[in-house]
């Protein structure tokens, strides 16, 4: 089971991203309808469609037993990013209406559930996950927030500076391992 974590600047630019593979087993495929899909390889554009609709991950799921490493690079990563980006629509709406920082399960697309955390500076932390884990994600977000604030206190850090600190990265990974 994998989690995809993004930190987005107010202008939707990713400052940090992390793909976390959890040791927990993945859920079985959500819908009966998504099984038995035809394999599409007729043209380049069918590939796009396959990936965007989530079919590629569904078929992949069948091929890889036990739901180990499902996310490859390339196209799938692109789709994950597309979903994270598209979920901003929902996040923007909800965050303006609700007065909390942690927006749990704010959006759902294909098989992904999107949870988000919006800081006061309009930085958005986004997690794409497959199973509900509200408490764990909440703890993780709080850790991430603290780490981010520590990074942002660097006087040379602006709202648009990508976070490349290895310390930040390792701590985020540690927290993800613990909580997700």
Partner 1 sequence: MDHFPFASLAQIQILLVPVGSITKSLFDKRAAEIRSFDNIPSGDITVGDKDQRARFLPTTNTLATGYLHLSFPSHPPPESRLPLSLFRPSAFPLGIIGIASCSPETFEHIPAYFDDAVRDVISSEYALPISRVCFAFEEASDGAALNTTLSGVEVIPEMDTKQTKLHLGTLLASLCSRILVDLSDFVCHIRAHNSNSLTARPQVQNLESPIGNEYLNSGLFATLLPSQLPSALDLEQRSESPLSTHSQPELSTISNLRKSSTFKRTSSVGPALPSLRQSTLSAAASGKKRTSGIGAASSHGRLFKVLGDAFLLAGRTEDAVVWYTEALAMFKSLPDPLWHASVLEGLATVPILEAWASAAGLNGSVDTVKDPWIDPTDKIAQAASMYSRIIPGNDQDQQYPLLSYLYITCIFRHTSLLYSVWSAKGWGPVAFTTLLNPGPAPYVPPTLAHPDQLSFVNLERLSITSGIRRSHISEVLSQAHGPWLLHLGSRERIAILQFITAIYGYIGYRRKEAYVIRETIGCIMDLVVCGREHYDDYRLSSAKPVAIGQDAPTPTAGTLGIRESEPTEGNEGIVKLVKHICRIHGVDLGAVNVVEAGPEAILSRKSWTRDERRDTEAPPVPEDDIPKEPIGWPELQIGIVREAIAVAEALPDYAAVAQFCFSALKNLHPVMTPTDQNQLYAGATRALATAKRRGDSRAIEYWTGTPIVTIELTPLPFVRFPVEKSLGLLQDNDENTGKRQAVTTDPFLYNPRRSLHTKGSLLVVQNEDLEFQITLRNPFVFDLELSSISLSTSGVTFESKPISVLVPANSFHHVLITGRALEVGNLVVRGCLVQAPNGLSREFGLPLSTEEEEDKLMKRKTGIACEYGRTKYSGLAAHPWERPTEKRTSLVGPTSKKPAKPIRYMDFKVVPELPLLRIRRTSLTHSAVMLYNGERSTIRITLENVSSLSIDYLNLTFEDSTMSPAQQALLEGELSVFDAYETEYDLIHRQVLTWDSGNSKVEVPPGKVMTVTVSCFGKAGCTNGSIHISYACSRHALEADPPVDNFYARQLTYPVLVTVYHMLECYDMDILAYSGLNDRFGVGYHDPSMGESEDQSWCLFSIEVRNTYGLPFEVTFERIDEGEGWTASLGPDNVVASACRTVPPGSTCRIILPLPKLLLTEEQTSRPMPSLSGRQFVVNKSKLSSEDIKLQRELFWYREELFKAVRGRWKEAGGSRSGDLSLRQQRLTKPMLHALRMDPVYVQMELLQQADDEDGVSQKVVNRRGGKYRAPPNEFLFLRMRIRNVSPACLIFTASMFFEPEKYVIHQGVLQGIPFGEVESGETKEMEMAICFVSCGRFELRGQVEILDAARGEPAGSGHITVLVEDGQYLTVPDSITGAHVDE
Half-sphere exposure of 62 (CA within 13 A, CB side): 11
The neighbouring-strand residues paired with 94 are: none
Half-sphere exposure of 175 (CA within 13 A, CB side): 20
For residues 19 and 175, give the distance between their C-alpha atoms in angstroms, rounded to a whole number: 13
Which CB atom, from 113 or from 180, has the smaller least distance to partner 1?
A: 113
Task: Find the binding residues for partner 1 in span 149-178 (CB under 8 A).
Answer: 158-160
* Spatial contact of 125 and 137, defined as CB atoms under 8 Å apart: no
Q: Mask: binding to partner 1, 6-45, rule CB under 8 A, as x and -?
A: --xxxxxxx---------------xxxxx-xxx-x-xxxx
- Token duo for residue 6: 């993004």
Least distance (Å) between residue 111 CB and partner 1: 8
The pair phi, psi for residue 154, each rounded to 5°, is -60, 125
Which CB atom, from 47 or from 136, has the smaller least distance to partner 1?
A: 47
Which CB atom, from 55 or from 128, has the smaller least distance to partner 1?
A: 55
For residues 177 and 159, give the distance between their C-alpha atoms in angstroms, rounded to a whole number: 27
Alpha carbon distances (Å) from 140 to 8, 28, 80, 163: 16, 24, 20, 18
Among 19, 110, 119, 131, binds partner 1 (CB under 8 A): 110
Task: Find the binding residues for partner 1 in span 80-109 (CB under 8 A).
Answer: 81-83, 85-90, 92-94, 96-97, 106-109
Size of the site for partner 1 (CB under 8 A): 56
Q: Which residues bind partner 1 (CB under 8 A)?
A: 8-14, 30-34, 36-38, 40, 42-46, 48-50, 52-55, 57-59, 78, 81-83, 85-90, 92-94, 96-97, 106-111, 122, 158-160
């Amino acid at each position: 089971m994998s989690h995809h974590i993004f930190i987005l600047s107010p202008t939707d630019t990713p400052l940090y991203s992390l793909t976390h593979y959890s040791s927990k087993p993945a859920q079985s495929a959500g819908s009966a309808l998504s099984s038995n899909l035809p394999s599409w390889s007729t043209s380049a554009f069918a590939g796009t469609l396959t990936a965007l609709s989530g079919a590629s991950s569904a078929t992949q799921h069948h091929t890889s037993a036990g739901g180990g490493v499902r996310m490859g690079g390339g196209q799938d990563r692109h789709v994950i990013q597309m979903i994270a980006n598209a979920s901003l629509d929902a996040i923007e709406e909800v965050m303006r209406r609700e007065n909390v920082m942690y927006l749990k399960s704010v959006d759902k697309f294909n098989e992904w559930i999107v949870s988000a955390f919006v800081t006061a500076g309009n930085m958005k932390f986004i997690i794409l996950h497959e199973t509900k884990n509200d408490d764990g994600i909440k703890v993780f977000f709080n850790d991430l927030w603290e780490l981010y604030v520590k990074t942002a206190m660097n006087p040379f850090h602006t709202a648009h500076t990508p976070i490349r600190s290895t310390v930040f990265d390792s701590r985020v990974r540690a927290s993800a391992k613990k909580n997700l």
